[in-house]
A and B are shown apart, each in its own frame.
Chain A
Amino acid sequence: MDLPALQLAHTAALVAAARLRLPLRSHTWKGQAGEFTGSGTGSSLDFQDHRAYSPGDDPRHINWQAYARTGTYTMKLFREEVRPVVDLILDASESMFFEERKAARTAELFYFITESCAVAGASLTIHAVRGDGSAQLDPAALRTHRWLETARALPLTDPAIAPDLAKVPLRSNAIRVFLSDLLFAGDPEPVFRHLGQRHGSIVILSPWLEAEARPDWSGNYEFIDPERHSRHPHRIEPATLRQYLEAYTNHFALWKNAARRHQAALARIPAEEELVTALFREAVPARALESA
């Protein structure tokens, strides 16, 4: 993708971020002060509870009206406001970018998450994973749109293997947004286990192409593996196509079942639709996003 395309994706993401956001409010946060309600007591305006005064409590929160009525120091407890923590893991494999629309949708989702985090004041850490290689992206690269070059430049031994998330350092109590088309073989269970460790919430946004889900293949093809750039001659008969569709459906059914087990939000975002429409139609029902 070139710079104008990235800028265009950024613009679409900004529009989407104005209407949608990550499900940060449905999460109980701990950590640094911010705009989101934490799990502990804090100094926000939201009243939480009363309790008896204990030495060391902030005297500003003594409920003097209650003291006047009862003569006992009673403390007003307010909800804590903290900064949410988001770990964005970008699957930078070739399959995410080999097709123009899919690449654009990936970039849009990437920008959307980063902008959504920026709006919410969330602490965002961006990781790019490509095969067995991974790297943390500098948020400053978002402004210069150099993040894609950095992600695609990751060294890797075998481009075709599934993204190795084990090397990605995940912060505790964070929302883990995994941006991937999930088009790699293997059991999704380790992925979910890894993403869900340390009280993490999992959101998976998976861009997909209509051409992948419902291809119109018929006859002989030289399929080119975008990862390895290898050629694979195939003859697609109707029966073969049916088997492919079945395998495709089963593959994502496996991911959805795993997501359900791990209470993860998995939303598959079609690349052909307009971003906001697609997100509203796919991500919001899946609770991967929520209206702003």
Chain B
Amino acid sequence: MPVFANPLGLVALLGIPAVLAIHFLQRKARELPVSTLFLLDHTRREAASGRRFERLIPSIPLWMQLLAVLLLAWLLAEPRYRKSGSIQRVAIVMDSSASMSVFKNEALARLMKQLPELQGAATEIQLTVLESAPNRPRLHAGSSIEELEAALDKWRPRDGPIDPTQALRLARSLVSRDGTVLYLTDTPAGPLPFEARLLAVGKPMANAGFTGVSFATEEGALVWRALVKNHSAKAIERTWSVLTKTGSTQPRPLYLEPGALVTLQAAFPKDAENVRLVLSPDRFPLDDVLPLVAPKPKPLVLFAATSPAFAGLAEKLLRALDAAESSKDAASADLSIASYNPLDPALPSGNTIVFVEDETRTGAWLKGGIVAEAHPLMDGLNWQSLLARETIQLDRQPTDTVLLWQDKRPLIFLRESNGIRQLHFNFDPTLSNAEKQPAFIVLLHRFAESIRAEKIAGVCENLETGQPLTVTAAPGIPLSVTAADASGTPFPKSTILDPQSAISDPGFLTIRQGDKTLLTAAVHFADPREADFSACASSDPEEMGSTAAFERHTRPDPLWRVWMLVLLAALMVSWKFTSRSLQTA
């Protein structure tokens, strides 16, 4: 079956009706009164009469001209034949942003419709389907359209906005220069790199949904505050209600002005399970539900029974830290605050913040430049206004990590061994302006939170979909992850649940280690960029110069010279008969 390099050449077939029309007009019967009809009846009747079309049949110029038109159309259309075994490689990058979930079916239909064009003249198409999110496994690789449909049917886009450049680069490298890269998205934005073609399937639509939640304690009661945003340019009326495992509240109307951000709040129902806020549904359901759990951070037990000089500082720190508890037992505390006294140099063995306590209080101001080392605890902190006096110094070990220098004196260093972290302040904060330094306060908080993060304890959190998780667990014991959707229906066991990140759909997540529950989380979708469909648009892939690919997959008609000669012969025969008939006339 030939394919045409220039299908527009087939327009020349319009010459057929043109030729027929010309012949019909030329052969249009002239009306003539004749008194000798009985003599005409003596001639051969079959040659002298007949229907108009039948009278065209014996016209040799007509047939020659029709043949010429056919041959001309054939030659102009540049017929080519497919080479056996030719393969067109096509890499499709699917925009894995969550907004694509709305247009998924349309996207698949448009893609299937586009495949024949992508295959072009090749006898086979080799498909590779990637997600725009980097480091994801391929959705599909092969030539089977059915398998492609099955793979894409299972595909569930849940990511945020992702720059497809990396995926397009990978796609281009997979199909080489001769292949085709297609980026399927709902939000076209600018020209694509790597000669990728754009297939946009979105369209602007109104949407409103939850964009976040926070908790506060008011009058001893836990109160949730949820933000609802209208992402569209027109007002929306919705209803909202609170659902639990045992019941729900009456739906309440919610009127949202264009672009409005509304806060809903209520007391968190005590001892309720599967608590969730639900908006009346729309086309984008991900942000219509907000699962909730009462947040409960890991408790941090602080032992602050140290020198009275630092009691005030310890008390401030205790108040400032979330879920911090004071303890009189240093052995069971998560974090201790200790002062270093050269007369009694013994320090707690656990996680400790160590200050120098210099009772002489006569040291001179330290001089020299203050330099902070690059360390996560010190990131972004400004210590230049720190004034500290010369004091006795802590015993620094070679393995300690100095965080802050003044001249050649380490002011702060970190000691880590066997999972124990100790933050040493090699100066007396009470003889300095450290307490007035934001960097000092932040550093103490960072250190305390790092201790809390390393603590193996249960925590209740409200997370966003796909949010990375940091779960501290005991080594050697596997974690078990269970999850359920917002209504509490567990996800299938076949679903691979990753303890490194939250589930991608709104719901509830639990991570256990043995009998111990490490994380109880409610996961909600709260990406306003994906919930805003105002930039969605639709477009077909623009035609790319595929002449090289077309010629690579096909070979020209070997008889085109013959057709050319036949065309010339037909024209000459037609011309000869036409001129003869003119002379006869």
Determine the distance from Cα of A289 to Cα of B563 in the docked complex, in whole angstroms. 70
Contact B39 A244 (CB under 8 A): yes
Complex interface: chain A residues within 8 A of B42 (CB): 243-244, 247
In A84-133, the 8 Å CB interface with B consists of 94-95, 98-99
Name the contact of B27 in the complex, choosing from A181, A220, A244 (C-beta under 8 A): A220
A240-B584 contact in complex given A222-B31, A235-B55, C-beta closer than 8 Å: no
- Contacts known (A220-B55, A221-B30, A222-B30); A240 close to B36, Cβ less than 8 A: no
Q: Which one of A35-43, A168-176, A189-197, A224-232 is at the B interface?
A: A224-232
Q: Which of A98, A219, A223, A243 contacts B44 (CB 8 A)?
A: A243
Q: Are B34 and A225 in contact (CB under 8 A)?
A: yes
Known: A219-B27, A239-B47. 16 other contacts (CB 8 A): A98-B33, A98-B35, A183-B38, A184-B38, A217-B32, A222-B29, A222-B31, A223-B33, A224-B33, A225-B34, A226-B33, A235-B49, A237-B47, A240-B44, A247-B39, A247-B40
Q: How far is the CA of A221 from the CA of B33 in the complex (A)?
A: 10
Is B252 positioned at the interface, with any CB of A under 8 Å from its CB? no
8 pairs, CB–CB < 8 Å, chain A vs chain B = A99-B35, A183-B38, A218-B581, A223-B33, A235-B49, A235-B55, A239-B47, A243-B42
- Interface range for B: 20 to 34
Kindly provide the distance from the CB of B274 to the nearest chain A CB, expressed in whole angstroms.
89
Interface string of B268-312 (1 = CB under 8 A from A): 000000000000000000000000000000000000000000000
* In contact, A233 and B37 (Cβ under 8 angstroms): no
Interface membership of B48, Cβ < 8 A = yes
Least Cβ distance of B1 to chain A in Å?
Answer: 41
Residues of B within 8 A of A232 (CB): 37, 40, 49
Residues of A within 8 A of B51 (CB): 233
Whether A183 contacts B36 by the Cβ 8 Å rule is yes
B135: CB under 8 A from chain A?
A: no
Do A251 and B49 touch (CB < 8 A)?
Answer: no
Interface residues in A, total, Cβ within 8 A: 36
Once the chains are docked, how many angstroms separate the CA of A78 from the CA of B27?
73
CB atoms of B39 and A238 under 8 A apart: no
- A-contacting residues, B46-101, CB 8 Å: 47-52, 55
Give bound CA distance, A134 to B32, whole Å: 28
A185 neighbours in B (Cβ, 8 Å): 38
When distances are taken between beta carbons in the complex, the residues of chain B under 8 Å from A183 are 35-36, 38
Q: Within the assembled complex, what's the spacing in Å between the Cα atoms of A244 and B28?
A: 21
B503 to chain A, nearest CB (A): 83
Say whether chain A's binding surface is mostly helix, strand, loop, or mixed. Answer: mixed
> What 1/0 flags go to A181-218 for Cβ under 8 Å of B?
10111000000000000000000000000001001011
In chain B, residues 547-585, which have Cβ atoms closer than 8 Å to a Cβ of chain A? 581, 584-585
Which chain B positions have C-beta within 8 A of A276?
Answer: none
Shortest beta-carbon distance from A279 to chain B in Å:
22
Pick from B32, B35, B50, B585: contact of A235, CB below 8 A: B50
- Cβ-closest chain B residue relative to A98: B33
Whether the pair B35, A95 counts as a contact (CB closer than 8 A) is: yes
Given the complex, which residues of A lie within 8 Å of B418, measured CB to CB?
Answer: none
Q: How far apart sit A168 and B264, CA to CA, in the bound complex (Å)? A: 121
Residues of A within 8 A of B495 (CB): none
Docked complex Cα distance between A112 and B42 (Å):
35
For residue A236, CB closer than 8 A to chain B, the reply is yes
Closest to A242 in B: B43
Closest partner residue, chain B, to A226 (CB atom):
B33
Which residues of chain B in 10-29 are interfacial with respect to chain A, using CB atoms and an 8 Å cutoff?
26-29
CB of A219 within 8 A of CB of B49, answer no
* A212 to B584 CA separation, bound complex (whole angstroms): 18
Cα A95 to Cα B39 with chains together (Å):
13
A248 interface residue (CB < 8 Å to B): yes
Whether A50 sits at the interface, judged by CB under 8 Å, is: no
CB of B40 within 8 A of CB of A219, answer: no
Nearest residue (CB) in A for B47 is A240
Chain B: minimal CB distance from A210 (Å)? 13
- Determine the chain B residues whose CB is within 8 A of the CB of A226 once the complex forms: 33-35
Chain B nearest Cβ from A1, distance in angstroms: 15
Q: Tell me which residues across on chain A come within 8 A of B31, comparing CB atoms.
A: 221-222, 224, 231
The residue that B40 contacts in the complex, of A223, A224, A231, A239, with Cβ under 8 A, is A223
Chain B CB within 10 Å, residue with most, of A217, A218, A223, A238: A223
| Minimum CB–CB distance for B63 against chain A, Å | 16
Enumerate chain A residues within 8 angstroms of B36, measured Cβ to Cβ. 183, 212, 244, 248
Q: Chain B contacts of A212 at CB under 8 A?
A: 34-36
Q: Which of A220, A238, A247, A248 contacts B30 (CB 8 A)?
A: A220
Q: How far is the CB of A224 from chain B (nearest CB, A)?
A: 4
Q: Which residue of B lies closest to A209 (CB)?
A: B35
Contact B38 A219 (CB under 8 A): no
Chain A: CB-nearest residue to B37: A225
> In the complex, what residues of B have CB within 8 A of residue A238's CB?
584
Q: Are B38 and A221 in contact (CB under 8 A)?
A: no
| Chain A residues, Cβ within 8 Å of B30 | 219-222
Residues of B within 8 Å of A243, CB to CB, are: 42-44
CB neighbours of B27 from chain A (8 A): 219-220, 235
Interface centre among B37, B42, B584 (most CB of A within 10 A): B37
A234 within 8 A of B: yes
